[in-house]
Structure formats: C-alpha cells, structure tokens
Structure 1
Amino acid sequence: MMVVPGHGCRVWRHGNKIRVENIDGKPIFVSDGVRAWDFTGRSDRPLVGLPDRVIYLGPGQFLLHRRTTAEWTGNDFAQPVGDVEVAEFAGRHCWTVQLAPPEGKPYPLRIWVDVDSGQMLGYLVEEVGEGSQFVDLAVGETLDEGLFV
C-alpha cells in the first residue's frame, strides 16, 4: 500500500495508531494499529492492509513514518555529521543533528526530534531549503479513539 500525502495535512498519532487528513478534512490514511486504510484512490472504497506493509512517499514522509532500527544502521541519512545539539523547534524542547547523505546525494539532512515524545518534528536540507515540519503541534492531549477507525 502506497500513501502519498500532498502538501499540508493534519496528523494525529497515538502510539502505532495514526490518522492523516487533507487540510479539508478528507482522510488520506488511517490505522488503528492492526489494520490500515488508504483513501488516496476511491475514498468510498479504501484499500485495506496491514500497517507494516505501508510505504509513505512524497512530502512529509519522514515525519509520518517512524524509522525502524534497521533503517538507522544503514547509510541513508542515518549517520550523524557533528554533535547532537539542543534547540527549541515548533515550540518544543528538541535535539537537532545533521545526518550524512547517502552516496549520490550531495547534502546532509538536518532533523529535529522532540525530547519528550521521540517524534521527529521536522527535517530540512539547509543548502536548498527543502524540508517539512509539524506546525500547530499538540503533544499529550487525549484523542478520540474514533479518529483511528
């Protein structure tokens, strides 16, 4: 299942449960942690599958998909360049670091990770100004379980 969110979306996450909507409120992707629904085709008949079989592509992909341990051991934006620094980002206390690019890509990727939740809040290729980030962020709020079904 491939989910390709466009520019600007709303995201709710609670553990392995996630809901992604277009800005207009139409669902793009929903998972209750056991099943996943892809609404990018026919919204009245979403594709249904297992969450671990979902591939995110496009803007915001690094924010919507938590990387596995195996993905952090490779060389695709996985190795730090320099020290991890403390910074405020999106109104949250974060760690930030640049990650070395894989062979064939010219620039490193800077990421910001929320200290309290471990959620990546933003990333940026500073040399070209390309990236994505959460805005209007709320952490720790109670969420309606109906968001994820």
Structure 2
Amino acid sequence: MSSETAWPEVLVRMVDGPGHAISLRGTIRSRNGRHQPGNFGGWAIMGDQARPQFTGNFSRARETVHHVWRTGPKVRVEDSDGHPVLISDGNRSWSVTRGALPVEGSASAVRFEGNGTYLLDWRSATEFTNTGYRDPVGAVEHATFLGRPAWTFELAPAHLDPHTVHLVVDAETGIVLQQRYDAVDAVDEWTEFAVDEPLDNALFEWTGPVLSAEEEAARERTEQEDERARRRQWFRTHVTDQPLTTTVQVDLDVQWVHTYNDDTGAFEASLGGDHFIGGSLARRPRSSEPWNLRWGGDVHRWSTTDFDWQISLHDFTLSPDRLRQLQTRLHPGEPATHYTAG
C-alpha cells in the first residue's frame, strides 16, 4: 500500500475513529527517554477557565505504566499500583494525588496528557495540517500489533522537532497503539488493548470526599506562600537578616529566592517592596569565569573575598554612597572590590 493512497484513510481514522463511542481497556507504557513529548508539561488558565484535569500523573520516572478504561467521555486511569490518577463519569472528573483528597472538576476539564496517556484519545486534525508539521516518510504498511490489524509508518520531523516519529495505528479504531522516537529510545505504547468490552459504570464514579477546584487553588496558594517564606528565611540565615534599605528608605526586601545552594552559598533572588517596582540580587563563589545574567536596569557588580555579587534595580539608580551602604548590609566587615570576571 503506498503512502499516497493510504495516508488520507489513516488520517481520517486517527481523527474521527469509529464514532468515538466504543469502549477501550488496557495498559499504557511510557519510556520517555530524553525526548518523548506529552510526558512533562505545565498549564495556565485565564479568567473563568476550568482548572485542567490530566490523565497522567507526570511522573519523571524513566518508565511508567498506567491501567486505563474509557467509554465515550467516561475515563478511568490508574497507576501501576492500582491507585487512581483520574476518574470521570462524563459530567464530573476527579484528579487524584496520592495522600491528598481528589480534586473535583468538570469532565470538560479532562486533558489526555502525561506519561503516554494521550494514547487514550483520538488525534486532532490540526496536529497534521499545521504548516511545517509532519508528512509521511515512505510507505504506509500493513502490520499486526497486539494481535490486531494495524498501519505502521514514519512521519517527518516537525519544524521544532529534529527526530522522525514512528506510529502504529489500530486499523479498526484509529487509536495510536505505539508512538516512538528510535533516535532517543523513547516510546509510548499500549501493552494491552481491548475494544468494546462491557465496562462497569462503577469504574467511572467517585463517592468519597473531595476538594473543589476552588479549595485546591486556595491550598496551592497557601503552599506557595509557605515556600516563599521558607526561601526568604534561607536568605536571612545564609546571607543577612538585616533589612536591605538605602538612605532614602527604598525597600529592597527579598521577595523570592529563586535558586540557592547550601554547599556554595550561591543564590538568585527578586527584590521589591510596597513603593518599589523591583530588582534582582545574586551571588556566586568568586570566579574568573563569565557571569552574564543579562539583567537590565541599573546593574552593579562587585566581589568580596569569597563571592561575586550582582544587583539590578528597575526605575532606581544606586549612587556610590548608596551602593556602599547596601554592601555593608550584605557583607558587613568585608570590603567590596572591583568585579574582574568577564
């Protein structure tokens, strides 16, 4: 079968499936290597958008296994130990994290992403029609996978993807049974795949206690504030607990310590206050290596015996006297010398 004649048929089946009303049951294995997309990700919401509920738990393990059930909009995903990751009855969905109450949301918030679980869903037409995306490489061949008739073929790299991807598509359902990147030893695949089995509705129900999406958002905000406070305390313990102010009382208090290292004492932090737009402060062990943080604003660099320092302020300029005053707060008793690294 040539790719010119078979590709449209395969594409239609991958996108439309057999009406999407069939039931699916099986196991999905993901060996993510260094490349496989859909295993890691983040998200953002705007306005009144629903909080997404992901079918994968985004584990960073080299290999993961998930047990899955789906019939129409109803979905259940469990990890390899049988702990639920996501359940949906077609109207509501419950995202489950071990050791925490499930978060309840709308079924419309379900996203088939994480650890290869995108294989539970049919593909979007835009995935193959966007300019610069993949085209078949060579012939679309008949194959057998998990004892089922299938098509197998390769797709050319996308404009942002340097690697060829190999797909095996179930001929009956249009579900991708295997997607792999041989160049980086990455594969997502069904290792067990059953179609049109009767599935108990109890699989898609959660009757225990839950958190609402609003309650979960409030919990996350509390966690973020606690983490912010912990990092600020690190700064006070390892750098200085003195208020970082100049003679004009511009508040340069540390708002967030982005990175720090207990072994070297290096850190990067954001500065700010009620009447100050903001800035950045960093230090590293003294070195002759370049240290270009690409900060804008009013940037100053200097060194002490053990460290290189750098500060950047926005909409505010430090005079030499103000800079010396700040240096005295940061490292009292240690004179600042001219920064000599590249």
TM-score range, shorter chain: 0.7 to 0.9
Deviates more, 1:59-68 or 1:107-116: 59-68
Q: CA deviation at 1:123?
A: 0.8
CA RMSD for the aligned pairs?
2.3
Match of 1:8 among 62, 65, 68: 65
Q: What pairs with 1:37-48 in structure 2 (closer than 5 Å)?
A: 37-40=94-97, 43-44=100-101, 46-48=102-104
- Number of residue pairs matched by the alignment: 148
Could you give the per-residue CA deviations for residues 109-145 of structure 1, whole angstroms, max 9, x where no partner exists? 1111111122211111122221111112222211111
User: Secondary structure, in 3 states, of the residue corresponding to 1:141?
Assistant: coil
Q: Any runs of at least 4 consecutive aligned residues in structure 1 with deviations exceeding 4 A, and if so which?
A: 75-78
The alpha carbon displacement at 1:49 in A equals 2.5
Say whether 1:66 aligns with 2:122. yes
Q: Would the alpha carbon gap of residues 128 and 141 (structure 1) be closer, same or farther in structure 2, given more than 3 Å must change?
A: same
Match status 1:20 vs 2:77: yes
Task: Identify which of structures 1 and 2 has the higher relative contact order when contacts are C-alpha pairs closer than 8 Å and 6+ apart.
Answer: 1
| Alignment-derived partner of residue 84 in structure 1 | 140
Identical columns (%): 36
8 Å contact from structure 2 (residues 87, 95) kept in 1 = yes
Instruction: Name stretches of at least 5 consecutive residues in structure 1 with no aligned partner.
Output: none
Distance 1:2-1:17 versus aligned 2 partners, 3 A rule: closer
Indicate the larger mover: 71-80 or 136-145: 71-80
SS at match of 1:11: strand
Does structure 1 residue 31 correspond to structure 2 residue 88?
Answer: yes
Q: CA deviation at 1:95?
A: 1.0
Distance change >3 Å, CA 69–CA 32, structure 1 → 2:
farther
Instruction: After TM superposition, give the deviation of residue 19 of structure 1 in Å.
Output: 0.8
Letter in 2 for 1:54: V
TM-score of the superposed pair, with normalisation by structure 1: 0.83
Change (3 A) 1:76 1:58: farther
Of the two, which has the highest radius of gyration? 2
Q: Is the Cα–Cα contact under 8 Å of residues 77 and 108 in structure 1 kept in the other structure? A: no
Matches within 5 A, 1:50-129: 50-74=106-130, 78-129=134-185
> AA paired with 1:39?
V
Greater mean alpha carbon deviation, residues 106-115 or residues 48-57: 48-57
CA 1:75–1:20 in 2, change beyond 3 Å: closer, same or farther? farther
In structure 2, do the counterparts of structure 1 residues 110 and 147 end up closer, same or farther at CA, with 3 Å as the change threshold? same
Distance 1:88 1:106, change over 3 A: same
Query: In 1, are the aligned partners of 2:120 and 2:175 still within 8 Å (CA)?
Result: no
Contact between 1:11 and 1:20, CA under 8 Å: does it hold in 2? yes
Task: For structure 2, list consecutive stretches of 5 or more residues without a partner in the other structure.
Answer: 1-51, 206-342
Structure with the higher helix share, 1 or 2: 2
Cα distance in 2 for residues equivalent to 1:77 and 1:134: 25
Higher strand share: 1
Deviation of residue 18 (structure 1)? 1.4
**1:34–1:132: structure 2 CA closer, same or farther, 3 Å change rule?**
same
Residue 199 of structure 2, aligned match among 140, 143, 149: 143
Q: TM-score, normalised by structure 2?
A: 0.39
